[in-house]
Structure 1
Amino acid sequence: MALLGYPTRLTIWSREALVIGLAALGGGLFALFDVPAAWLSGSMLAISIVGMARPLPSLRKPWFDATMLLSGVLIGSAATPEALAASARYPGSLAVMFVGLGAIMLTTGAYLRYVARWSWIDSLLAASPGALAAVISVAQAKGANIGRIAVVQLFRILVLVAILPTIMQMTGSSPPGQLPTVVVAGAGDLLILLVSGLAAGLVFERIGVTAPIILGATLASAVLHGAGLVHGTLPQSIQIAVFVLLGASMGGRVAHVKRSEILALFPLAIGGFFVSVAVAFAFAWPAAWLAGVPYASAMAAFAPGGLEAMAMLAFAMGLDPLYVGAHHLARFMLVGLAMPLIVAKLKAEPPKG
């Protein structure tokens, strides 16, 4: 029996290796041309295109859980003592951001609900500004339509990163600065982060928290970094692997969406992008005044994009990285912790037609 089962296991592993390889190829191609969020967007696009032409197997749950664990460790590493101290220096700006966060989700969610006729759970998850990994994890746990949620979310990130520098230049931002020196955590710190994150995730899973692995890992990483018990983040090679695996997971979901539905998603994604960005930048104006920072810094801090992409964009534009990073970190924590509660009583609707 074992011999009979061996080819099956080998086939599964080989097919998963093919999916990951295709995702890495797409990400590498995008990175070669300096496309924003290259490894994530390129891997997702590659799997989406190939999957629509020929069915590909979805990565199994252990792959997804490992990706969520590493994503949580990576995001939580932004909670350095300096970033937490910066958060304490901008209470007025953070308060405006929290109100703006609710406004973005309500307006963009309402747009998708009443214009696209989506379910509320799909609409709110697609409208969530940033925290993409947490959103996908919640969507997976709730049985939401991950394909169209991922398409709308990733479209917003790509377009935002592509046009935000131009918008900032029009408002008179600071000259481009130097990229920061990334501190890589040592082997001992990495082991502590992974074990602590997994333990917290398993506890969250035990008590029934939605998206437990990424939330547990994020919380554990944030506490350990904030307390100064560990230092540094994941090596770049592991970060790339995380983006490739996440892109492969999302691309696999997109590949299962009907082609007619994908074509219909682009106008909706464009409309949702303008709604969310208009609301975000409207709230960025009073926040900049309260914090005494340039409007360009507030735009980067309030932009409804991913934590990593927006933080790196701030560095590249010579903006205040602590101000921008503190706001995106606080927003991610709020979205990650509140989203499971917001959608807890909502149910995904079965696809129509």
Structure 2
Amino acid sequence: VTAFLAAVPGGFQTMIAIGEDTNADLRKLSIIHSTRILVIVFSVPLWIQFSSDADLGQAIPAAASLAAVSLKEALILLVCGAAGYWGAKRIGISGASIIGPMLANGALHMLGLAEARVPVVFINAAQLVIGVHIGCQFAGITARELASTVTIASGYALLLMAGAGVFTYLVVWATGINIFAVALAYAPGGQPEMNLVALVLNLDPAYVALHHLLRVIIIVFGAQFVISRLVRAKARKSG
């Protein structure tokens, strides 16, 4: 289970949530996915910076303020999130705390029933809690274990990028789409950063965002399918 969740190219928080529900090694999951994201977020923009004249330093994320969200919109987000979590938990979806609210709010926004965005203060608070929780998993880790895991994770990230690079050139050759747009869309991680770089380069951010959204959706549902079978196989073996 740990090996599979660590090999999934995306959905850091989702994989951690699923790993917690399936008793996976959260320490190794955290190190591997953190390393993957670090390598990708550092390498892809650096390559674009040296391959173009764009100043990537001007990328500034747009975020909703607390005052911009009405009480009605806030209640919709909260109720939908709670209902999504409850529904996912009832169905038995691993990582229900993230996947349930994500699917419920995503459906609500796609149907046009809600337009509110979560204020950045709550996003930062949630990331802080997740970061602290993940950091606690590193208690007792040895330098040798950390170094070996980071080395393996770095090699894995480079293999992912090599595969993404091959498909990037194939798509550019077949369609003529801007190579930077395709590279950002096919990057196996770092969705917010890739979207920001697309904005700075005056590329279509929707093209990049859609590819990353599809990647995450496929990963979430695919992981559920595989994990359920791995858990059952593990239970049969131990029983």
TM over 0.5: yes
- Indicate the RMSD between aligned Cα atoms, in angstroms: 2.4
Give yes or no for contact 2:41–2:190 (8 Å, CA) kept in 1.
no
Q: Which residue of 2 aligns with 1:275?
A: 159
Q: 2:225 aligns with which of 326, 329, 341?
A: 341
Gaps in structure 1 of 5+ consecutive residues? 1-120, 349-353
Q: Which residue of 2 aligns with 1:153?
A: 33
1:309, distance to aligned residue in structure 2 (A)? 3.1
Per-residue CA deviation, residues 61-89 of structure 1 (Å, 9 max, x unaligned), is xxxxxxxxxxxxxxxxxxxxxxxxxxxxx
1:202, distance to aligned residue in structure 2 (A)? 0.8
Q: Distance in 1 between matches of 2:38 and 2:50?
A: 20
Q: 1:307 to 1:169 in 2, by over 3 A?
A: closer
3-state SS of paired residue (1:238): helix
Q: 2:109 aligns with which of 225, 228, 234?
A: 225
Q: Distance in 2 between matches of 1:140 and 1:324?
A: 30
1:297, distance to aligned residue in structure 2 (A)? 1.0
1:248, distance to aligned residue in structure 2 (A)? 0.9
Residue type of the partner of 2:77? L
Q: Which residue of 2 aligns with 1:143?
A: 23
1:291, distance to aligned residue in structure 2 (A)? 5.4
1:226, distance to aligned residue in structure 2 (A)? 1.3
Q: Distance in 1 between matches of 2:138 and 2:78?
A: 29
Q: 1:331 to 1:202 in 2, by over 3 A?
A: same
Q: Which residue of 1 aligns with 2:237?
A: none
Question: Which stretch of structure 1 is more off in the superposition, 338-347 or 196-205?
Answer: 338-347
Give yes or no for contact 2:55–2:200 (8 Å, CA) kept in 1.
no
Q: Which residue of 2 aligns with 1:247?
A: 131
Q: Distance in 2 between matches of 1:175 and 1:252?
A: 37
3-state SS of paired residue (2:14): helix
1:189, distance to aligned residue in structure 2 (A)? 1.5
1:159, distance to aligned residue in structure 2 (A)? 2.2
Give yes or no for contact 1:172–1:296 (8 Å, CA) kept in 2.
no
- TM-score relative to the length of structure 1: 0.59
Q: 1:281 to 1:190 in 2, by over 3 A?
A: farther
Residue type of the partner of 2:222? A
Q: 1:178 to 1:159 in 2, by over 3 A?
A: closer
Q: Which residue of 2 aligns with 1:55?
A: none
Q: Which residue of 2 aligns with 1:325?
A: 209
Q: For this pair of structures, how many residues does the alignment match? A: 229
Q: Which residue of 2 aligns with 1:127?
A: 7
Matches within 5 A, 1:183-222: 183=64, 185-222=69-106
Q: Distance in 2 between matches of 1:308 and 1:191?
A: 26
Q: 1:174 to 1:201 in 2, by over 3 A?
A: same
Give yes or no for contact 2:18–2:95 (8 Å, CA) kept in 1.
yes
Q: Distance in 1 between matches of 2:102 and 2:53?
A: 32
Residue 155 (structure 2) pairs with residue 299 (structure 1): no
- TM-score relative to the length of structure 2: 0.85
3-state SS of paired residue (2:138): helix
3-state SS of paired residue (1:344): helix
Residue type of the partner of 1:330? L
Per-residue CA deviation, residues 16-69 of structure 1 (Å, 9 max, x unaligned), is xxxxxxxxxxxxxxxxxxxxxxxxxxxxxxxxxxxxxxxxxxxxxxxxxxxxxx
1:153, distance to aligned residue in structure 2 (A)? 0.7
1:211, distance to aligned residue in structure 2 (A)? 1.3
Q: Distance in 2 between matches of 1:173 and 1:141?
A: 46
Per-residue CA deviation, residues 106-161 of structure 1 (Å, 9 max, x unaligned), is xxxxxxxxxxxxxxx22221122221111111111111111111111111212221
Q: Distance in 2 between matches of 1:277 and 1:309?
A: 16
Q: Which residue of 2 aligns with 1:165?
A: 45
Gaps in structure 2 of 5+ consecutive residues? 235-239
Give yes or no for contact 2:40–2:190 (8 Å, CA) kept in 1.
no
Percentage of matched positions with identical amino acids: 28
Residue type of the partner of 1:157? I
Give yes or no for contact 2:40–2:189 (8 Å, CA) kept in 1.
yes
